[in-house]
Structure 1
Amino acid sequence: MSGKKLLEKLLLAQNPQSDVALLRDALAIESVTGSETLFARFLERQMSTLGLNTGTRAFEGARENVWGVLPMDGPSLMILGHTDTVHVRGWKEHWQGDPRKNPFGGVEVNGQIWSRGASDLKGGICAAIAGYRLLQHTGVQPFCGLTFAFIGDEESGEPGSGVSAGAKDLVRCIEMGMIPRPDFAVYVEPTNLDIYTAQIGFFIADITITGKTAYFGTPELGVDALKATHKLLSRVWEHEAELNAGPRHDLVGTSSILVTDINGGGFIAVPGECKLSLIRKLRPGEALDDAVSAFEAVLNTEELPKGVDVAINYPSGRDHPKGGSPVENDPDLAAVDLLQSCIRQTRPKAGKIGGAPYWSEMPFLTDQIGCPTIYCAPGDIAVAHTFEERIEVEEYLAAARAFALFFAGFGASHSSQNNPT
């Protein structure tokens, strides 16, 4: 069946009310990082209803990853997304007296559904499930193996979590043969239905500068941690200027470093301790170990005044002990071309190739199991993690149709790439 004819069938078969109801049901389930299991079980029920072979596995205690598999010979496609959202503290107060006051209400205002997780990224998960359901309604069978894998612990912000524990366990399950090894993967982070083939890397550094406090009238008896911090900050900002003037990546721009917090003193005395935090952005091609080494060399803590101690902690290890790696995939892959074509049939102005200005879990597939991976889904990253989080209904419905087209065409696309004759 031609793509045009299939799209016509999809348009006739799609039930917008049912697809929106699926999203609203998903949004109604609170799944802040650490409490993803109820949402994972909801997804298991959805996939089981569609005839997929489902499975779950606990990580970090009772938290669960979930997957559904359509087994088939030939190339294997994976749709991947995280089940957790960031917190909703302050949401009700922000929207007091407004229909949007319930962070899990999924209320529609001006053609957009407002809720925590609407863009990041339950909209992407539900669009993919709705797309497969829609394809079933047309009677078309994918010519590829298809796996939906939904994992917890991607988001940061909750104590003791947000270290990609779910992604790490997913990789273990693939390596053990519990989940099919994919040949191509789509991680449904929000992209407004553009296609991100690259992403930034990052590390966060928490720095504690310790001196010696002393009464303000006898400052000579102390060692001023704030003055030492000033020296370190000056070096960090010099490093920032060097990075900004350095090489530029076509999709994600230059590398950078940003001081995000500083705290010190507080008494009428010589500051005995200061703390600062910063985040370093890496462009694809940079090695995280090298970036950390260069940063520590720039600080040059050995030249600080006698009596000053500096401790550096890297709290956000992901695929790397000190942070998350940058990634770049080939934008000319046949699967990318196919996905772009499918999107433009349903959302003509979308489907542009770009780079993610955020970090998510692409490296676990690209670097650890050698699977080309891209980000693509409805929703806008600019409203994620805010009180403005929402998703456009028409974009969400177009995404479901685009995913249905992609599932139908992936097997032929992958075969033609690997067997050009």
Structure 2
Amino acid sequence: MSTSLHDRLLAAQDGDADLKLLQDAIAIDSVTGNETAFATFLEDRMTDLGLHTGSGEFLPGRLNVWGETCEPSATGDRLLIVGHTDTVHVRGWEETWKGAPQESPLGGALIDGEVWGRGACDLKGGICAALGGLRLLQKAGLRLSGGLSFAFIGDEESGEPGTGVSAGAHDLVKRVEAGTIAKPDFAVYVEPTKLDVYTAQIGFFIADISVTGKSAYFGTPELGTDALKATHAVLERIWAHEADLANGPSHDLVGTSSILVTHISGGGYIAVPGECKLSLIRKLRPGESLDEAVTAFEAAVRSAPVAGGISIAIDYPAGRDHRYGGSPVEIDREAPAALLLSNCVSEATAGTQVSGGTLGGAPYWSEMPFLVNKIGCPAVYCAPGDIGVAHTFEERIGTEGYLAAVRAFALFMARYCGLEEKAE
């Protein structure tokens, strides 16, 4: 059955139509905060596929959209495909590629077997491959017997002022809990993985630290309290804490925990520095508690030997599923659905120049914890594309991997949800 089903899908696949879907998606500007036009585009595509669709604002003027193959009351296991509609900004893209075929970040230029543009891999490629998978099943004359849902949500990316707090994911959880969107039994979040299947991901928190002393004229430094010296002491304790983490437990899929200081500023006058600010990001491996990680981090900072009159304030600006940041998460890597997806990817990529299907862990954070921890739905990341070119002026996706992903998702939908018509 497996070989004949893939052959049937391969024969039915319209690669030009699949690529046009992706290029049409890239052509829509959907930088965080401006997701609604793309969300509406996706709702229209789901309607074209015969899905029962819905939409709702997760913040004023910003839409989440969803679609289902059958009514929420239907029995049987239900698969949910999730992806975020927003992309990072395009500032500097046109200047970088001026005069080149990929000059427009929304152009979807096809160059040497790759489609270029903002969102090509992160993650419009995954969204379009999943929608293309359902379309492929229909084109091959196959109808799912179990439930399939899609949910496309905004506000995942950070970087734009006042956005990037997973407001769309919070809204999705509320709608599932309220029964507006059917509760899934398994979910695939289409972050780029090079078509590997990630059953684990890191967590994180960002900390902004303000060290405040008292400024004074350089000729009378004894009248001031040097915030820069205090910051030096704080940094020493942070880096000692980092070394302890690096020498501590390691997760076989995502490695050890870590801390990276990402920014520091202070002084600037011919005077005793009265204030210094620094920012850092802490990586958590699966199994770590965000609350405990923050407690240990603050203990390290507060242990710094600083002069009297120094005050230290710590802020956590990047709350996601947790008030301090994003939780790490992991499901059983032997979960039958994860293994099934792995096998489907391996089958769809066999005989191509791309590979996939390896079980692994995400070296990034996305919104899988909302599914696993908030609504109790086991989930994985899987999609075409390389996270290494996301957020860069090199963002692109290989056409062979993208088209293989369309077939892989079609296979997985057919085998997870079941078919009304059995393939010969």
Asked if Structure 1 and Structure 2 have the same fold, meaning a TM-score greater than 0.5 normalized by the shorter chain, the answer is: yes
Distance in 2 (CA, whole Å) between partners of 1:366 and 1:21 is 33
- Aligned partner of 1:198 in structure 2 is 200
More deviation, 117-126/3-12: 3-12
Quote the Cα distance in structure 2 between the aligned partners of 1:278 and 1:367.
26
Residue in 2 aligned with 1:220? Answer: 222
1:269 is aligned to 2:271 = yes
Q: Paired residue for 2:174?
A: 172
- Select between 198-207 and 333-342 the one with higher mean Cα deviation: 333-342
Q: Which residue of 1 aligns with 2:37?
A: 38
Q: Conserved in 1, the CA contact under 8 Å of 2:233 and 2:305?
A: no
Match of 2:55 in 1: 56
Secondary structure of 2:218's aligned partner? coil
Q: Pick the aligned partner of 1:352 from 358, 361, 370.
A: 358
In 2: Cα distance, 1:73 partner to 1:48 partner: 22
What SS class does the counterpart of residue 99 from structure 1 fall into?
coil
- The aligned counterpart of 1:282 is 284
Residue in 1 that maps onto 2:8: 9
Q: Which amino acid aligns with 2:142?
A: V
Which residue, 354, 376, 381 being the options, matches 1:375? 381
Counterpart-to-counterpart distance in 2, 1:63 and 1:376: 26
Is the partner of 2:94 in helix, strand or coil? helix
Describe how 1:19-418 pairs up with structure 2 within 5 A.
19-71=18-70, 72-300=74-302, 303-348=305-350, 349-411=355-417
Give yes or no for contact 2:193–2:385 (8 Å, CA) kept in 1: yes
- Deviations along 1:194-214, one digit per CA (max 9) or x if unpaired, are 000000000000001111111
- Partners of 2:362 and 2:145 in 1: how far apart? 30
Q: Deviations over 1:313-360 (max 9, x none)?
A: 000000000100000111111111111111011114310000000000
The separation in 2 between residues aligned to 1:300 and 1:272, in whole angstroms, is 19
Structure 1 position 143, deviation (Å): 2.7
The answer as to whether partners of 2:185 and 2:378 remain within 8 angstroms in 1 is yes
Deviation at 1:304, TM superposition (A): 2.1
Q: 2:422 maps to what in 1?
A: none
Letter matched to residue 31 of structure 2: V
Report the alpha carbon displacement of residue 73 of structure 1 after superposing the two structures with TM: 2.4
**Alignment-derived partner of residue 416 in structure 1:** none
Aligned partner of 1:50: which letter?
A: L
Runs of 5+ unmatched residues, structure 1: 414-421
Whether the 8 Å contact between 2:84 and 2:123 is mirrored in structure 1 is yes
> C-alpha distance in 1, partners of 2:417/2:161?
42
**SS of 1:100 mapped into structure 2:** coil
Q: Distance in 2 between matches of 1:249 and 1:57?
A: 39
Aligned CA-pair RMSD: 1.0
> Which whole-Å deviations, capped at 9, do the CAs of 1:99-141 have from their partners, x for residues lacking one?
1110000001110011000010000000000010000011111
Q: Distance in 2 between matches of 1:403 and 1:100?
A: 28
- Aligned-partner Cα distance in 2 for 1:254–1:362: 20
**Contact 2:148–2:417 (CA<8 Å) still a contact in 1?**
no
Query: For the Cα contact (< 8 Å) 1:83–1:151, is it kept in 2?
Result: yes
Q: Say if 1:142 and 1:409, in contact at 8 Å, map to a contact too.
A: no
What is the alpha-carbon distance in structure 1 between the residues aligned to residue 339 and residue 141 of structure 2?
25
CA distance in 1, matches of 2:79, 2:317: 33
Quick one: which amino acid aligns to residue 227 of structure 1? K
TM-score by length of 1: 0.97
Q: Percent identity, please.
A: 64
Q: Distance in 1 between matches of 2:333 and 2:417?
A: 18
Aligned 8 A contact 1:301 1:310 in 2? no
> Partners of 2:33 and 2:417 in 1: how far apart?
36
Q: 1:143, 1:409 within 8 Å by CA — same for their partners in 2?
A: no
Q: Is the 8 A contact 2:134 2:410 kept in 1?
A: yes
Secondary structure at the counterpart of residue 233 of structure 2: helix
CA distance in 2, matches of 1:305, 1:9: 74
Residue correspondences, number: 412
Q: Is the 8 A contact 2:144 2:418 kept in 1?
A: no
- Cα distance, 1:303 vs structure 2: 4.2
Decide whether the 8 Å contact of 1:143 with 1:410 is kept in 2.
no
Contact 2:194–2:386 (Cα < 8 Å) also in 1? yes
Would the aligned equivalents of 2:237 and 2:303 in 1 still touch at CA under 8 Å? no
- Opposite residue 381 of structure 2, the aligned amino acid is Y
1:51: Cα distance to partner?
A: 0.3
User: Displacement of 1:411 after TM fit?
Assistant: 3.0
Once the two structures are TM-superposed, the CA of residue 301 in structure 1 deviates from its matched residue by 5.3
For normalisation by structure 2, the TM-score amounts to 0.96
